[in-house]
Structure 1
Amino acid sequence: MVLAATPIGNVGDASSRLIELLSTADIVAAEDTRRLHRLVQNLNITVAGRIISYHEHNEATKTAELLEHVKAGKTLVMVTDAGMPSVSDPGFRLVEGAVAAGLTVTAVPGPSAVLTALALSGLPTDRFCFEGFLPRKSGERASRLAELDQERRTMVFFEAPHRLEPMLRAMHERFGAERQAAVCRELTKTYEEVIRGSLRELLEWAETQEVRGEIAVVVGGAPEKAPGQPEDHVAAVNELISQGIRLKEAVAAVAEDVRVSKRELYSAVLAAR
């Protein structure tokens, strides 16, 4: 079984391996068969094998059928509308089932909206996380952002055009006006656009635009906390102790989190008693 990345916008990004697999595979599982037909038409190739629709609404019923074909020795290629299958797209259940059945799974790597947006953002790339789409409801979205408030890695999100402004507003409120970010729109396409700046600047931009296309938002991680004095963190240690954690373990956990000396913090806790 092969997971094959497809172009995220520019058909010229299709790899020779992708073209060969689509032309020769016994079965092509496609998130949207119409998008697949447009792709192969643009590539000027023909899919010789059987095409099976495989998307989030039929994964539960189609996965077992597809795995049976793989068990029978057939070459199965999984493609989504754009990018790498299973990354915010169908494919995870298929991989999970194949692994459980002891079947071989490989990939034809290629275009990725996540990595392209990250690379173009101008934000740190050494450590990052992918958060996909935030919840649509404002309360749930605020809760998710609260969980990410102290995330120090660069964060990559996807968002729909009509929800971009409320998303940036919620981030502005939670992360602060000066947190650096980038809105990446229509990556690799004719009207590709990357807007970089603070969340305040990006929100002001979004308020005046009729944003269209596929969007990735990249947000810088939280700045490191200043270590402060050991005495400032006694309450945090006592809070852990009240939860049943031993003194030395509580001191070690807090000292690592706030970057102060364990010995000095331990002494400060004892002095406060």
Structure 2
Amino acid sequence: MPATFRCCLPSPTAAEEAPGALDPPASLDLSSSPGAHGAASAPGRTAADGHGALAPPLPAGLYVIPTPIGNLGDITLRAADTLRRVSLLLAEDTRHTRKLLNHLGVRHLQLLSCHDHNEKMRLGGVLQRLQAGEAVGLVSDAGMPGISDPGHEVVAAAIAAGVRVEVLPGPCAFVTALVGSGLPTDNFTFVGFLPPKSGARRKALERLASTPGTLVLYAPPHGLGSVLRDCAEVLGGGRRCCVAREVSKLHEEYFRSTLEGALREFTEVREPRGEICLLIEGAGDGDSFTAGGGGSAAADPGAVERVLRELLSGGMPVSSAVKEVVANLGANKKQAYAAALRLSASLGKGGQ
């Protein structure tokens, strides 16, 4: 069942894409990982603080530790310090996590697998160690545990048992993708993965069709075409969207278009690859779409210009951008072409 939560931020009281080259993510060969997980350390294990002195032991409790979503250099100082000082670490995939620990120089830490298929089975033993006074860490393969990843059951059980739970801030793929998409960030709904079957997926989308604010979804690369097709048909093909791929990794990409444009791109032009976050314009964020696909008969000039600017900024040729807004927003072709030429010239001179 897809996870859904809403976030609405107050509007401010007062009145991208040219990122620098990304450094390739650090990587380590898993074959160098030790076969054994190492012996369990005593509760309150200490670690060097970077100056040779030992840091004080961690208080007993569950530490939820976000980990990099692609680039090992994104680990925070606090997360690295906590990983060195817990006595037990629950990991979605121990082999994957061992790679991160080796990168940090953490060699003697007990790892225990905790994933979708065994999380509930682990609760008894984990709670016993927490109540005995140990500091226990929780990580997923990437990002924040519990967000479309294992972790919720452990956190809920610890809270119910009166155990101290500390959640560290850190990497989360959908938050990064949302900001980079260019879509509104003051009001959004995180949906997670939609149902894999089209019928259930379309019903879920029908419930989301009138939701204000940006819709944030995860999608598997092999199923992106089907997801985009259902989104275009149920939500309207003219809705702006962004397909964020491989966020924080070497081949990071933000493809900004409409749902119809993204559908054509990833079904007719190229095959989608990598980890994908799909962000879709919410109901009421623009008058550039109608439910059931296609654009309105009289397109809003402001919406047309906004979409043209985003398409051209993303590298789409003028003719292709004009076709997009004519087909999906119902724009007048002559007016759209004139606006596209003007915007293209402005962008070519460094305009935003």
Q: Quick one: which of 248, 266, 269 aligns to 1:206?
A: 266
Q: Distance in 2 between matches of 1:26 and 1:56?
A: 22
CA shift for structure 1 position 107: 1.3
- Please, what TM-score do these two structures have when normalized by structure 2? 0.62
- Equivalent residue for 1:40? 101
| 1:75 and 2:75 aligned | no
Q: Distance in 2 between matches of 1:84 and 1:47?
A: 23
2:213 touches 2:285 (CA, 8 Å); kept in 1? no
1:24 touches 1:47 (CA, 8 Å); kept in 2? no
**CA offsets 1:145-204 (integer angstroms, 9 cap, x no match):** 011110112111001100001100000001111101100000000000000111111111
Identity of matched residues, %: 40
- Equivalent residue for 1:109? 169
Q: Which amino acid aligns with 1:184?
A: A
Question: Is the deviation greater in 216-225 or in 65-74?
Answer: 216-225
- Equivalent residue for 2:192? 132
Q: Quick one: which of 43, 51, 64 aligns to 2:111?
A: 51
Q: Distance in 2 between matches of 1:47 and 1:64?
A: 26
CA shift for structure 1 position 49: 2.7
In structure 1, the gaps of 5 or more residues are 227-273
| 1:216 and 2:277 aligned | yes
CA shift for structure 1 position 65: 1.1
Q: Distance in 2 between matches of 1:182 and 1:225?
A: 15
Q: Quick one: which of 121, 145, 154 aligns to 1:94?
A: 154
- Please, what TM-score do these two structures have when normalized by structure 1? 0.80
| 1:183 and 2:183 aligned | no
Q: Distance in 2 between matches of 1:130 and 1:217?
A: 10
Q: Distance in 1 between matches of 2:281 and 2:190?
A: 12
| 1:21 and 2:82 aligned | yes
2:213 touches 2:284 (CA, 8 Å); kept in 1? no
CA shift for structure 1 position 68: 1.1
Alignment of 1:119-268 (within 5 A): 119-207=179-267, 208-223=269-284
Q: Return the structure number with greater helix share.
A: 1
Corresponding residue SS for 2:231: helix
Corresponding residue SS for 1:78: strand
Q: Distance in 1 between matches of 2:186 and 2:251?
A: 28
RMSD: 1.4
1:5 touches 1:109 (CA, 8 Å); kept in 2? yes
Q: Distance in 1 between matches of 2:234 and 2:192?
A: 18
1:7 touches 1:82 (CA, 8 Å); kept in 2? yes
User: For residues 47 and 72 of structure 1, do their structure 2 counterparts lie closer, same or farther at Cα, with a shift above 3 Å needed?
Assistant: farther
CA shift for structure 1 position 48: 2.8
CA shift for structure 1 position 64: 1.8
1:27 touches 1:52 (CA, 8 Å); kept in 2? yes
2:127 touches 2:158 (CA, 8 Å); kept in 1? yes
